[in-house]
A and B are shown apart, each in its own frame.
Chain A
Amino acid sequence: MDERTRTEQSQPIHLPPPDESGDGLTPPGPYERIINWLAGLPWWALILGVVAVAVLYSMLTSEAYRRVIQSLTDNPQSSTEDLYNVVQIVGEPTMIVGRYAGETQDSVTTVVDELLDTVIGTSQVTRTGFLLAEDPASITLRTDGGLVTIPKDRIVDEQREMVGGNEQITLTYIERVTVSGTLTKRTDKTMTIRTVNEAAQTFAVSRVLSRTVIPCTQVNAPGCEEGEYVTIERQGEIVTGTLNTLSNTNLSLSLPDGNTREIRRSDIDRFDVPTLTVALNARSAARSIVPDDEVRIAFVLDTDIMKALDELETLDDVPVPLRYADGQSRVVLIGYGTLDEALAATGAGEADALLYLDDGPDRRYVETWVEDNPRAGVALPTPPRECQKGCKVTVKLNDDVLTGRIEWETDDEIRLVTTEAQYIDLDRSKIVENRRMEPGACALNNLRGCNAGIFLTLRVTFQAYGLALLIGLFFGLLRVQTNPVLYAVSTLYVEVVRGIPLLVILLYAGFVVSPQIRDTFGVNLSDEQEAVLGLAFGYGAFIAEIFRAGIQSISRGQMEAARSLGMSYPQGMRFVVLPQAVRVVLPPLGNDFIAMLKDSALISVLALPDLLQLGRLYVSRTFRAFEGYNTVAILYLLMTLFLSMVVRIIERRTRLPH
């Protein structure tokens, strides 16, 4: 294309004002100008433009084409949280495996979360030694290997015996934890890993025979039943009242002022039942209390302390100072006039604990008070009994029974989450080994996870071409040697490989060479590596010939000049001949790159899901051969046109002035 023409086109055209006296020349009309501008474009820009417009048009108007393109590009999502599939070994598994449940004088209890236990592998270690020190969080032993401090929440078994007057303890504790799952978030300090994937099912409402709401009586998921007094936190607002009705989507509350209020369950941030509130004196909470100790319990005078004590017994997890309050120790009840007084007294140590049960205002007051008075010495051991946002239901279908949380429900369909996703935050500094990290799902924010279709085609082509360049350069250099052995070896390679169809070479690489390599060296090549090797080996011969021709096209005088200046043969090649030869061979090299991109379609014989293979799968699945192969062809065409444009630009950039 003529450079001059285009430069002129790119400048603003200043039209002369319409001249009445006139020389007969009229300024060009807009139509003419568009034609001129189009004529000034290079041919490939025209094709590229037409194709781009056509593709865009199809994508916008045809659902079928949109689906093909999606399927050929590895079905990318717009965003994903599945960044990597990982296996991490964590050295200090505090907070992951166990939950320190409490202790008596003789043993430490650790609750290992069963669900997590199934997805997290642990390695346990047993240590024996003499007790040196013990505090609420850890035990320090003197062992043969020195001092060992073990956090109590990592201890899974403990035996104590007296040896020669000293107490010898054998502890089994968790040393390392293997966490496998999907990395969903990564910061400088932490890693969030999803260890359990959400499992959900969508089914038609018509299939449902019956539906039972599971009464939420489980300890970990206490539900809220109709008639209970509840507190709801909804977009920053706190509402308390009696629960009238509770459906999967809505609930209605009777407010203290007599009004009724409907609240959508999806809007609720927190939903809990005022229940027995236990506040502890912080020092008592840390102290071990033995059966015969005196337990002092504070209460507010006009509340029902006896009912509160009954409630205490139903607690699954009784705080230490109150553990022996049910008859084993002497219980002293101290009444106070107001909640504030009772709290202050508990903090001051007049009482070991405060029990507070009220149908009216909730425990939130206690929580707020503790937060506002951090130095009062009051601790809150138990979390509130929180209602689940969506209560679980058991749905009986005509052929199945499912239990789970309803995620959404329309008039036609229901989506039921049968397994909730589980997440773990790992402290990155505690990760001792990164055993596996593979790209996760394909999405626009995680392109490294895209590895099928057009992505595979491009990746294999680039890798194979890079390798083919190295092979070609090597053999091309051998081809211009005077040494007969080197010349013969390179000629043999070129002639043999050039004479075998690329398809045969690929099959050879995949089914002959690769198994041989596996048997001989024990190296397992992936399908993709086989394809890259096959393509590179096959194209290396052509590229070797290109390099040979390029080197031979450089006049002998160049090498002689280089040698006469004292350069060695390799130096002359490297600094004088090759830079000139590469300029000469750029166009044929670019040609070969485009040819290889097209020939990469052959790798589907190695069962690789490249662009063509995915296209064929799509066609066989939908019988839409027209749209399927059209799209495959257009995508190849777009890629090759784009590449020839790039090659052209490189050629222009490297052209010498003359």
Chain B
Amino acid sequence: MSQPLEPIIKIENAHKRFHTLRGTVHALNGVSLNIKPGEVVVIVGPSGSGKSTLLRCINRLETLDGGSITVDGILLKGARNINKVRAEVGMVFQQFNLFPDRTALGNIVLAQRVVRKRKKAEAMARANELLAKVGIPEKADSYPAQLSGGQQQRVAIARALAMNPKIMLFDEPTSALDPEMIKEVLDVMLTLAREGMTMVVVSHEMGFARAAADRAVFMDGGVIIEEDAPDVLFSNPSHERTKLFLSKIL
């Protein structure tokens, strides 16, 4: 896996501040991270450590206050057509964010038609193919409200995949799910990882991380505390902060 490839995501000294009534929160405080094509990176860390912010900065849902992020050779800051970059970066949200007024199929077809300008038949074919891939071909005509959490999240993954992205970002994809539905989502993600998709996953699913991730990153207070192979990081962390965190969640 570790061929000398040019990183597809290059994060250099990223800073991000949020201004609230109670003062300024330094969500990212000089984060640097390189992710190579095909690499699967899991980011763990306590709440408020900036891991979700980092993810959202990668497709510029949030803009940086300092430093730079380059995705697939395009510097995000001042990128003229951010929508082109976003189309190459699929994102899966904790709350699914499916379009409630469209069927599962409609959710997957919409962006293909609007952004990729695919013909209707082509988009439908692709949507059906992806629904089969995530294991719910029979739910094509169901509305999100009629689906379970796990099914919704799988539709969301299919929706992102329909754009044929080069990178997939997962923002705590299983945190809002009942425990028994977590596995069906993780299975889909595992399959994706094995197919060589570049993935950045914010998750506390150690099992998934061990099975699929090339690298695990531990973040706290807006900085990367340490990064290593998942097995090493989880079983034998070098930092005290990491040890403390892991002892709480395990």
Contact = CB atoms under 8 A, between A and B. Distances in A.
Interface in A563-580: 563-568, 571, 575-576, 579-580
A557 B115 contact: no
Contacts of B90: 564-565
Contacts of A561: 91, 93, 97-99, 156
Interface residues of A, number: 21
B146 interface: yes
Nearest to B86: A566
Contacts of B223: none
Given A563-B86, A565-B111, A656 B99 contact: no
Interface in A582-601: 583
A565 B93 contact: no
B146 A657 contact: yes
Contacts of A576: 99, 110
B111 A580 contact: no
A560 interface: yes
A657 B142 CA distance: 9
A162 to B, nearest CB: 80
A568 B83 contact: yes
A657 B145 contact: yes
The listed residue with most B CB atoms (<10 A of its CB), out of A561, A565, A571, A575, is A565
Interface residues of B, number: 28
Given A565-B111, A565-B115, A571-B114, A656 B91 contact: no
Contacts of B89: 564
B119 interface: no
A419 interface: no
Contacts of A558: 97, 99
A585 to B, nearest CB: 14
A566 B87 contact: yes
Contact of B87 (A555, A565, A575, A579): A565
A492 to B, nearest CB: 27
Interface string B135-163: 00000000101100000000010011001
A471 to B, nearest CB: 25
B126 to A, nearest CB: 14
A575 B97 CA distance: 14
B83 A567 contact: yes
Given A564-B89, A565-B86, A656-B143, A580 B160 contact: no
Contacts of A658: 143, 145-146
A564 B143 contact: no
A565 B93 CA distance: 12
Given A568-B83, A657-B146, A563 B99 contact: no
B48 interface: no
A558 B110 CA distance: 13
B61 interface: yes
B145 A566 contact: no
A579 B89 CA distance: 25
Contacts of B101: 579-580, 583, 656
Nearest to A556: B97
B100 interface: yes
Given A557-B97, A580-B99, A580-B100, A564 B145 contact: no
B68 interface: no
Contacts of B100: 580, 656
Nearest to B156: A561
B111 to A, nearest CB: 4
Contact of B111 (A555, A567, A579, A583): A567
Contacts of A583: 101
A76 to B, nearest CB: 43
B183 interface: no
Contact of B159 (A565, A571, A575, A656): A565
A658 B163 CA distance: 28
B128 interface: no
A566 B97 contact: no
Contacts of A571: 114-115
B59 interface: yes
Nearest to B162: A565
A335 B86 CA distance: 109
Interface in A637-658: 656-658
Contacts of B34: none
B32 interface: no
A424 to B, nearest CB: 56
A560 B84 contact: no
B93 A557 contact: yes
Contacts of B91: 561, 564
B95 interface: yes
A564 B114 contact: no
Interface string B146-184: 100000000010011001000000000000000000000
A314 B101 CA distance: 90
Nearest to A561: B97
Interface in A160-183: none
B98 to A, nearest CB: 8
A583 to B, nearest CB: 7
B19 to A, nearest CB: 14
A555 B144 CA distance: 15
Interface in A533-572: 555, 557-558, 560-568, 571
Contacts of A657: 143, 145-146
Contacts of A555: 95, 97
Nearest to B87: A566
Contacts of A565: 86-87, 90, 110-111, 115, 159-160, 163
A560 B97 contact: yes
A567 B114 CA distance: 7
Given A557-B97, A561-B99, A567 B115 contact: yes
Interface in B72-131: 83-84, 86-91, 93, 95, 97-101, 110-111, 114-115
Residue of B59, B101, B143 ringed by the most chain A CB atoms within 10 A: B101
B88 to A, nearest CB: 8
Contacts of B143: 656-658
B201 to A, nearest CB: 15
A571 B116 CA distance: 13
A579 B114 CA distance: 15
B37 to A, nearest CB: 20
B119 to A, nearest CB: 17
A405 B5 CA distance: 107
B83 A566 contact: yes
A566 B99 contact: no
B147 to A, nearest CB: 11
Contacts of A564: 59, 61, 86, 89-91, 160
B241 to A, nearest CB: 30
Contacts of B146: 657-658
A575 B91 CA distance: 18
A59 B146 CA distance: 52
B40 to A, nearest CB: 19
Interface in A260-275: none
Contact of A566 (B93, B95, B156, B163): B163
Nearest to B85: A566
A621 to B, nearest CB: 54
A529 B194 CA distance: 67
A566 B115 contact: yes
Interface string A82-104: 00000000000000000000000
Contacts of B159: 565
18 contacts: A555-B95, A555-B97, A560-B93, A563-B83, A564-B91, A565-B86, A565-B87, A565-B115, A565-B160, A565-B163, A566-B86, A566-B88, A567-B83, A575-B114, A580-B101, A583-B101, A657-B143, A658-B146
Q: Which 9 residue pairs are nearest across A and B when measured between Cβ atoms?
A: A566-B87, A561-B97, A565-B111, A557-B97, A564-B91, A566-B115, A658-B145, A566-B86, A566-B83
Given A563-B83, A564-B59, 11 more contacts: A555-B95, A555-B97, A561-B98, A561-B156, A565-B86, A565-B163, A566-B88, A566-B163, A568-B83, A658-B143, A658-B146
